[in-house]
Structures are given as structure tokens and as C-alpha cells.
A and B are shown apart, each in its own frame.
Chain A
């Protein structure tokens, strides 16, 4: 078999492979930190003291994977059917179906809670174009 212009082709291929794999060897050795959303706000600690455990409107596993659909459904229920209370199927407590007056009252640490995973996954929900995010203190402590 004869490869015409073999030298040029092979050099070209090597350059292509080099560029295509650049992101991989560029990042070798760099730690890719896993997102670790924090659930240690004062409101959540207060809840833990009162009820003996941390709990959200549904189980942690459910919230991790389905929270986006749950809050979409909340919005329809609130805006169209005038419901305001959500009755949890996991702990049977009642919660205010509201992002600003519900979710963010406990999860007042948007940067360490919402953004932690959303940035890692490069998803940009546009909640905060309209909804007012909680004021966060500058992170100097840790």
C-alpha cells in the first residue's frame, strides 16, 4: 500500500490529535473539585434543633434530581390555582410554595447551595432575572 504525501498527512494527524486532546493533558493533575452544596444556614440549623434532623420539602435524593420539576409544578399551582401550601409526601409538613418566601428562607446561601452544582453542571436557570436572591454576607469565615 502506498500512502501518497504520507509525511504531511501524519504530521497533520499528529497536530490534530495534539489540539483535540489539549484540554485533557492541560488539566492533568488539577483537582476537579466535586460540587458540595452547603446546608448549614442558620435557618436550617434552627430547624435541626427543633425537629432533630435536617429535612427539606421532600427527601434529599428526590430534591437532588427532581427539584426543577417540583418548583415548575409549584409555580403553576400557585399562579393558576391559587394554592400556596405544599404538603410534603415524605414528612407531611406544610410548606409555603414560594421561591423567595419559601426555598430561600432556609437556603439563604444561594452561592454555596444553588450555584455550587449549577456552575459545575454549567446550567444557568434564569430564576434570578426576576426573583430577588437573598443578600449574602461576604465569605470571610472559612
Chain B
């Protein structure tokens, strides 16, 4: 039997299609094609829900370094956030991972330069975290949809999808995102690990998640629980009866760089109850 090149290629092509087709069809369970049926999954009954989660930071309640430290530590221990240190014990700012941290007024609110402003406020450290924006630049620039908006307004991330391109870090005007340059487990003490929460791996970007995982089991965010009483007010800003809504609608609060149009959901109450 003789065949020319054209015939040979045709037969080879058809047989490889048949061969592959058969093996794929054989190995495929419907779950690989259809996924989970919505009837197979449901949220926890005790989960806290909201139309739009938001937070008020009442700066008058944060008086001492200890107040800040307690709040920050609660978050970082809950989420296995590494604590990179230089040999001399100071913070290793290159590798540092921050979910919630304190910063100076001029860095938190660079658009509010009053020449003769209250010295106390000017010198005060501010508690800053991811603003869970209405219109987050990080989500817009993420090429893999690793970071995205949840229906309750939280800017969430899927660490499995993050490719570490750091576009989101360039996009975020608040510096709320940190990149894992090295394996974070090197800077987490094994005995301090929260066994109910994962760590991250080298090469992904991470940030505050508004404790999505705690809200889903009916708990308030870790920072809110640890902060001085009334220091962090967390709730549904779309609910007219919620405490955050009441504070925001009756007192003067400011948001970080709101002029950029990102719609941050963290409101700062500067004067606090003493002055308002």
C-alpha cells in the first residue's frame, strides 16, 4: 500500500483526535465539566452579612502605643502575618508585611495640609488598613482576577490565583498591599501560628480581608475585638440603623484620599466624642 504525505497526515490527524477524545471522555466525571450545583453549597447560618461593610476609626480612643499594638497584634496573629526583623531587632522594612499598621498624619492624609493645624493631631499616629474601596484600582489592574470585590463590598483576594505581578501594589494609592519577597513562614513562630488560618507563600501579594473568614462564622473582625472599646466601629453602612451609619451621618469624618474617587470604606473620626 502506498500513500502520499497528504493522506498520511489526514489519517494521523483523525486517529489522534479519536484517541484523545476517547481518553478524555473516559476520564471525565461530570464534576469536572459542570462544577458544583448551587444546591450543594450554602453559607453558614451564623454568618454576619451586610450590604456594604464599612469601618469607623475613632482616633480619640487610641491613646497609648499599647492601644495600637494590641489592635495590630490581634490582626497579625490571627492571620499568620510574618514579623520580619533586622538582626538589630528593628523592623525589616523591605520584607515587612502589613495588614493594619500605624502611620503619620501627613502620610495618611497628604491632601489636607493646613499650615496651622492642631499640633496634637499632626503628631498623632493613625491606624491605617485596606480601605475596601467602592472602586478599587487594585481590582481593576489585577490580570488574573486574584483580587476582586465580594458582594458585601469587601475587596478580597484568592491567593491561589495570585501570580505576584504586583500591579495591585502599584495601583493601590494607600500602600495597603505587601509582597512576600521571601517565604513568610521564616518569620512566623510555630507556636504563635493560628492553625485555623493558612499562611501565605513566597511570591504573592497580601492585605487585610476585613476578616471575611471570621464574619462567615459569626465573629467580628479581630482588630475590632481587640481595639479599645469604641475605637473601631464596624458594620453595614447601608443599614440606616447601624452604628457606623449613625456615626458617619451625624459627625464629621474624613476618608483617606477620597478625592481620587476610589470610594474608601474606612472613615476617620478625628475629634472623637470629646470634641464633636
Q: Residues of A with Cβ closer than 8 Å to B?
A: 62, 65-66, 69-70, 73-77, 79-87, 89, 97, 100-101, 126, 129-132
CB of B2 within 8 Å of the partner chain = no
The chain B residue with its CB closest to the CB of A94 is B42
Residue contact A82 to B216, C-beta cutoff 8 Å: yes
The chain A residue with its CB closest to the CB of B80 is A132
CB of B135 within 8 Å of the partner chain = no
Residue contact A85 to B43, C-beta cutoff 8 Å: yes
Residue contact B31 to A66, C-beta cutoff 8 Å: yes
Q: List 25 A-B contacts (CB under 8 A).
A: A69-B29, A69-B31, A69-B32, A73-B35, A76-B158, A79-B156, A80-B148, A80-B156, A81-B41, A82-B150, A82-B212, A82-B216, A83-B41, A83-B42, A84-B43, A84-B47, A84-B216, A85-B41, A87-B40, A97-B41, A100-B195, A100-B197, A100-B198, A130-B201, A131-B198
CB of B253 within 8 Å of the partner chain = no
Residue contact A130 to B200, C-beta cutoff 8 Å: yes
Q: Which 10 A-B pairs have the closest CB atoms?
A: A83-B41, A129-B201, A130-B198, A84-B44, A131-B198, A79-B158, A73-B36, A85-B42, A77-B41, A130-B201
Residue contact B193 to A132, C-beta cutoff 8 Å: yes
Knowing that A83-B41, A130-B201, A132-B198 touch, tell me 6 more A-B residue pairs with CB under 8 angstroms: A69-B29, A69-B32, A82-B47, A82-B216, A87-B41, A100-B197
Residue contact A77 to B36, C-beta cutoff 8 Å: yes
Listed residue (A70, A81, A86, A129) with the most chain B CB atoms within 10 angstroms of its CB:
A129
Listed residue (B42, B80, B196) with the most chain A CB atoms within 10 angstroms of its CB:
B42
Cα(A131)–Cα(B160), bound, Å? 11
CB of B91 within 8 Å of the partner chain = no
Contact flags B146-175 to A (C-beta < 8 A → 1, else 0): 001011100010111000000000000000
A82 CB contacts on chain B under 8 angstroms: 43, 47, 150-152, 212, 216
Q: When A and B form their complex, what is the total count of cross-chain residue pairs whose Cβ atoms lie within 8 Å?
A: 73
Give residues of chain B (22-41) contacting chain A, Cβ–Cβ below 8 Å: 29, 31-32, 35-36, 39-41
Residue contact A87 to B199, C-beta cutoff 8 Å: no
Q: Which of A66, A74, A77 contacts B32 (CB 8 A)?
A: A66
CB of B252 within 8 Å of the partner chain = no
The chain B residue with its CB closest to the CB of A98 is B196
Contact flags B219-239 to A (C-beta < 8 A → 1, else 0): 000000000000000000000
Contact flags B34-75 to A (C-beta < 8 A → 1, else 0): 011001111110010000000000000000000000000000
Q: Which of B44, B193, B196, B201 contacts A85 (CB 8 A)?
A: B44
Residue contact A86 to B212, C-beta cutoff 8 Å: no
Cα(A116)–Cα(B168), bound, Å? 39
The chain A residue with its CB closest to the CB of B154 is A82
Cα(A79)–Cα(B157), bound, Å? 8
Residue contact B41 to A100, C-beta cutoff 8 Å: no
Q: Which of B158, B195, B212 contacts A132 (CB 8 A)?
A: B195
Listed residue (A62, A79, A131) with the most chain B CB atoms within 10 angstroms of its CB:
A79
- B211 shortest CB reach to chain A, Å: 12
- A85 shortest CB reach to chain B, Å: 5
B158 CB contacts on chain A under 8 angstroms: 75-76, 79-80
Give residues of chain B (122-153) contacting chain A, Cβ–Cβ below 8 Å: 148, 150-152
Q: Which of A66, A86, A130 contacts B29 (CB 8 A)?
A: A66
CB of B182 within 8 Å of the partner chain = no
Cα(A97)–Cα(B216), bound, Å? 12
